[in-house]
Amino acid sequence: MKIKVGLFGAGDIADLHASGIKNCSSAELVGLFDIDNQKAQQKSDNYNCLSYDSAESMLKDPLIDAIFVLTPLEEHFNCAINALNSGKHVLVEKPVSSSVDEIQQIREAADKAGKLCVPVHNYLYEDSILRTKELIDSGKLGDVVTIYILYNIHHPETVAQRYPGVIRQILTHHSYITCFLGGAPKSAMAMSSTINDGSVEKENLAMSILELENGGLAHFQASFAADDHASDNWTFAIKVIGTKGSTRFSHADWVQNQKAVVHSHTYSAYHYSIQNTVRYFIEDCLVNGKAPLSNLTDAVISLRTIEAIEESIKTGSLQKISI
The answer to whether 49 and 29 have CB atoms below 8 angstroms apart is: yes
The pTM score is: 0.95
Measured in degrees and rounded to the nearest 5, phi and psi for residue 220 equal: -105, 140
Q: Alpha-carbon distance 33 to 60, whole Å?
A: 12
CB 120 within 8 A of CB 92: yes
What is the reported pLDDT for 270? Answer: 86
Q: What are the mean pLDDT values of the chain's consecutive 10-residue runs (323 residues total)?
A: 95 95 97 96 96 97 98 96 98 96 98 98 96 98 98 92 93 98 97 95 97 97 95 94 97 80 76 96 98 97 97 98 86
Q: Which domains does the chain have, with CATH numbers?
A: 3-120 (3.40.50.720), 124-262+302-320 (3.30.360.10)
Segment holding 19, helix H or strand E: helix 12-22
Helix H or strand E encompassing 148: strand 144-152
Q: Distance between CA atoms of 305 and 183, rounded to whole angstroms?
A: 12
Contact 205, 194 (CB under 8 A): yes
